[in-house]
Amino acid sequence: MEEKNRTEWWEKSLKEALVTCLTCQAAETVFPYDGLIAVGFGYAALTKDGEVVIQEGPNDEEIMTCADAEKLAEANPDHDWRIHLVGPLRERLFQRQGVGNWVLIKQGEGFA
């Protein structure tokens, strides 16, 4: 994929995306490597170029971690990889911006 396209993916910098939690005022700017791609009630998924690669289901026995997502992304690095977490009262979107670097690019109030 062209370098120009990769730059377009990263249009938001970490500073622009930094939004604190409405409840505790803490900022989570990088998804932890051992973090679970799960919310329990809501929507959690890993996407590649906007298409779902894996999505949390109601009966998932094994939940994917950021480390698992990184392994998939390392095998296909020239794509736009994102982790979506949409739960009650909190929504976060992380984007892979380099090896092992999953950066918060959007945060919202979620639903409910």
- The pLDDT tens digits for 24-42 are 545 568 999 999 999 988 9
Task: Give the count of beta carbons closer than 10 Å to the beta carbon of residue 51.
Answer: 9
* pLDDT reported for residue 25: 47
CA distance 97 to 73: 11
User: Residue 53 above 50 pLDDT?
Assistant: yes
> Residue 25 phi/psi, 5° resolution?
65, 15
The tokens for 48 are 């590649």
How many residues are recorded in the chain?
A: 112
Answer whether residue 9 shows pLDDT above 70. no
Average pLDDT for residues 9-34, to the nearest whole number?
Answer: 59
Better-scored residue on pLDDT, 69 or 61: 69
Tokens linked to 60: 């998932």
Q: CB count, 10 Å around CB of 52?
A: 10
Position 91 scores a pLDDT of 95
Phi and psi torsions of 69, nearest 5°: -65, -40
Phi, psi (rounded to 5 degrees) for 68: -65, -45
